[in-house]
Structure 1
Amino acid sequence: MLDDVVREIRKFGEKTKIIEKKIVVMFSGGKDSSLTLYMLKEAGFNVSALTFFHKWSWPEVLRWGMKFTKKLGVEHYLIDITEGLLKDAVGRKGPICVHCKRVMLKNAKWFALNNGFSYIAKGDNANDKIVGTLLDQCPGDIRLCEIPKIGIPIFRPLIRYKASEVEKLAEEAGIKPYRMYEHGRRKQWREGCPLQYIDEDKRITEKLMDLAFTVNYEVSKIARKHKVRVSVRVPSFEIMCWNCTEEVLSEVKKVIENFSRGTL
């Protein structure tokens, strides 16, 4: 299946002539963006990786991503968006991902334009399509969106493939991203960032961002040990877990108690 998909992407690139252009992939280190980068490289595209991080990013995931791009042999640019995220998110209500994605896309656009890239590629799959969004209203093939409002064409090579298909393709390619064993905001495994666990009805503050990271970093150690998915919302300390046992819940509650007492 992987060989067929790579051939199809190369055929599309040759038809549209984007295979001749410089493309920067928004690379988070997750399965979708890793597979996107891998397949474009295999198909012969001129690709580089662009990773945005901030002081609350998972360090293990960042290190894994750097090793992955080095092995793949592609240029990898890293940009710290801590300052921009604080400016855009603090004082507003969540989910913080809405504010963060806006900061990342804006920075990706200007990075691409200022460094000779003609296209931005994203790892969106068919499960990410949302009715009414600009990218999903593109005329013609939605893999390539050139709506002027965005400012630079967006290439989404996986947008026709369901999450389950992406899973199989990544497995065939031998892509195994580092897992923090987060709960994610959907049942479909969607890791990314501890800031997503700030309670959505709360005003975002830097203190809450720090708390979301420190609590969930400790909880992730428990989750990895037991191979279950656990995260904790803050400041409510609501526990979210898939397939948790009483033992896991007891360990997580102990972490929360320590944070409440100020001992962690």
Structure 2
Amino acid sequence: MTLLEKIYETRDFLRAKGMIEPEFGLILGSGLGELAEEIENAIVVDYADIPNWGRSTVVGHAGKLVYGDLAGRKVLALQGRFHFYEGNPMEVVTFPVRIMKALGCHSVLVTNAAGGIGFGPGTLMLIKDHINFTGTNPLIGANLDEFGPRFPDMSDAYTAAYREKAQAIAQKQNIKLEEGVYIGVTGPAYETPAEIRAFQTMGAQAVGMSTVPEVIVAAHSGLKVLGISAITNFAAGFQSELNHEEVVEVTQRIKEDFKGLVKALIKEL
């Protein structure tokens, strides 16, 4: 079965479940999946039950697809994403973004937990651009002409108008919202202090193991994108040790600001 055939098979399966014409796709990172529990009139499908779908194996990722109403808009939320470091091919990592487009989404809100290079733990950072340091690209292979061009423009991958709106909303809600460049690596090992110093020189303010492949595919598909990093720890060299437990713990601390911001954004975008 070709990738296109898989996309259409999965789209038709989800439509049959009642997932009709969502406006926004939400990709909820480590510790941030709780937002999906606020979706009303929810239709919930376990990842294991969706044809051609991947599996999420990371703590803090529930592994459910949730469709319904949030802030008065139809949304399709991923409670848990797929990572390259889990052994998934890029086709699987980015497949949910293709499905969001195929079902009718016009925008994707992508979130992650990230290490801070320019900002400290507890910071919400709007992603204004990214550096793809994964050593690969999800568009390698035959181009899906039905979705986008062979050589997509990445100049405005993180939609500028959405970032402006996010800053205005954050100001109204008295939420401190930083803005910076996210560098995506494969993981799963945390970066060395020398790597972080190199990334700092390259202009990155946050580092993580996701998001970049999904945003590349979103841009290829003509989707508008807003990206938010929850800075959960200092990157290597800025603190004595790194662990995933701290990532989940810090996201718990900042989740109310995060949820309030995302809901207001969905309502106004």
Q: What TM-score do you get using the length of structure 1 for normalisation? A: 0.30
Structure with more helix by fraction: 1
TM-score (norm 2): 0.29
Q: Compare relative contact order (CA 8 Å, sep 6+) and give the higher one, 1 or 2.
A: 2
Bigger proportion of residues as strand: 2
